């Protein structure tokens, strides 16, 4: 007599990245296996045995009364496809516990924007990822408060200063696909000023403004909310420092060009993520504009900017997140030729001046997603 008994196999350890989203069907398919029950000692069948035993098994008992054990007879029967599949699954429970999901590459996501595969791509994500995964967001709006510390070092006194101020920035991400998005950001200082050197010892009122617009590309390494992902942002940046038009101590400056920001996101739980990034703009355009004085550091030369960013995101759900990050940036502006005015400290006209500006920005904000 043969019984099909479901017996739990050894405990399975799930990968941490997949522990929050295990499909029950996949779990059952690899947690149990079919084994033969040993011959019962009591030859008298109980009511429960009679309920399970089929008539065919009774006939098989009669025919093989004198021909050995039931297990030999059972072993001569060809295995069914179902038992073969269960046996194969039990050999590698972790591999078969959850289907390995390969996210569509960015090239496929981009091509889906121009053909009928766009809807099927969205259906793919809706079927494979958790409803609270941020990949389900199509629009994200960020608002940050920020504290900035700026140190500008130069051998030309009109560009030498140090200041601190608070401000805010507003940003948006529009995700065309889960891996491709359009991003924009604008930031303003609040009640900022630049201290002037002796003999005036005054302050020049200033507005620090930044405007970024570009594209985001991100790649997830798994379907779980704990999956690590890599994000690249390519933006056209425009940064300005505006003082009053009749200011007699400072000139206005403007920096623009293309910059790249690359971030690695490392979730430690479905609700908490750390990220680390680098910012680089190897070639920028930097210029100065006159105000109440015609002070110029020389002819514009090469300019570049580099930075490091670290931060953490707290996700209550995909619609509500708290963001915290710290960025440190260094910008170098090299000029050629002579300055237009004598230096205030040395009373000399300087040649080939340079400006090194270091900016530290601490931001804390809120993100709404939909």
pLDDT tens column, 341-366? 999 888 999 999 999 999 999 999 99
Three-class SS state of 46: coil
List pLDDT tens digits, range 53-92: 444 445 544 544 544 444 444 444 555 544 444 444 444 4
Q: How far is CA 303 from the centre of its chain?
A: 29
Per-residue model confidence (pLDDT) at position 102? 63
List pLDDT tens digits, range 162-208: 999 999 999 999 999 888 999 999 999 999 999 987 666 789 999 99
| CA–CA separation, 232 and 251 (whole Å) | 34
Three-class SS state of 42: coil
Three-class SS state of 202: coil
128-369: CATH number: 2.40.128.100
Show me where the domains of the chain are located: 4-97, 128-369
Average pLDDT over every residue of 19-36? 43
Average pLDDT over every residue of 302-316? 96
Does position 28 have pLDDT exceeding 50, yes or no? no
Per-residue model confidence (pLDDT) at position 248? 87
| CA–CA separation, 325 and 185 (whole Å) | 15
pTM, entire model: 0.70
| CA–CA separation, 21 and 88 (whole Å) | 23
Q: Where are the alpha helices (DSSP H) in the chain?
A: 24-31, 47-52, 55-63, 70-75, 81-91, 93-97, 106-111, 117-128
Asked whether the beta carbons of 326 and 360 are under 8 A apart, the reply is yes
| CA–CA separation, 286 and 303 (whole Å) | 7
Does position 276 have pLDDT exceeding 80, yes or no? yes
User: Residue 286's closest CA among 300, 299, 298?
Assistant: 300
Per-residue model confidence (pLDDT) at position 122? 60
What does the buried/exposed string (b/e) look like for 132-170 if buried means 16 or more CB atoms within 10 Å of the residue's CB?
Answer: ebbbbbeebebebebebebebebbbbbbbbebebebebe
DSSP 82-137: HHHHHHHHHHSHHHHHS---PPPPHHHHHHGGGSTHHHHHHHHHHHHS-TT-GGG-
| CA–CA separation, 126 and 136 (whole Å) | 7
| Crossing angle between the packed helical segments 81-91 and 24-31, to the nearest 10 degrees | 90
């Amino acid at each position: 007599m043969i019984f099909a008994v479901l017996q739990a196999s050894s405990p399975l350890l799930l990968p941490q990245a997949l522990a929050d989203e295990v499909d029950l069907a996949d779990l059952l398919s690899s947690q149990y296996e079919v084994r033969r029950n040993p011959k019962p000692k009591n030859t008298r069948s109980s009511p429960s045995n009679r309920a399970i035993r089929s008539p065919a098994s009774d006939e098989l008992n009669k025919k093989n009364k004198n021909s050995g054990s039931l297990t030999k007879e059972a072993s001569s029967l060809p295995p069914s496809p179902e038992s073969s599949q269960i046996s194969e699954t039990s050999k590698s429970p972790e591999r078969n516990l959850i289907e390995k999901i390969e996210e569509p590459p960015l090239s496929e996501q981009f091509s889906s924007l121009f053909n009928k595969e766009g809807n099927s791509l969205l259906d793919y994500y809706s079927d494979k990822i958790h409803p609270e995964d941020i990949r389900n967001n199509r629009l994200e709006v960020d608002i940050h408060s920020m504290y900035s510390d700026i140190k500008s070092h130069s051998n030309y006194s009109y560009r030498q200063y140090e200041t601190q101020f608070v401000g805010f920035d507003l940003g948006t991400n529009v995700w065309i696909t889960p891996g491709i998005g359009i991003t924009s950001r604008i930031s303003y200082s609040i009640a900022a000023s630049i201290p002037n050197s002796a003999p005036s010892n005054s302050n020049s009122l200033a507005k620090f403004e930044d405007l970024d617009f570009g594209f985001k590309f991100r790649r997830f390494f798994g379907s779980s909310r704990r999956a690590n992902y890599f994000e690249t942002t390519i933006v056209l940046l425009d940064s300005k420092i505006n003082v009053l038009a009749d200011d007699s101590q400072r000139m206005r400056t403007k920096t623009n060009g293309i910059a790249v920001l690359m971030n690695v996101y490392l979730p430690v739980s479905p609700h908490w993520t750390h990220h680390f990034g680098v910012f680089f703009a190897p070639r920028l355009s930097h210029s100065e504009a006159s105000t109440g004085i015609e002070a110029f550091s020389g002819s514009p030369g090469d300019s570049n900017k580099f930075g490091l960013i670290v931060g953490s995101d707290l996700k209550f759900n995909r619609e509500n997140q708290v963001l915290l990050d710290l960025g440190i940036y260094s910008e170098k502006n090299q000029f050629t030729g002579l300055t237009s005015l004598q230096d205030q400290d040395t009373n000399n006209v300087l040649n080939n001046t340079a400006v090194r500006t270091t900016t530290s920005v601490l931001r804390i904000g809120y993100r709404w997603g939909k």
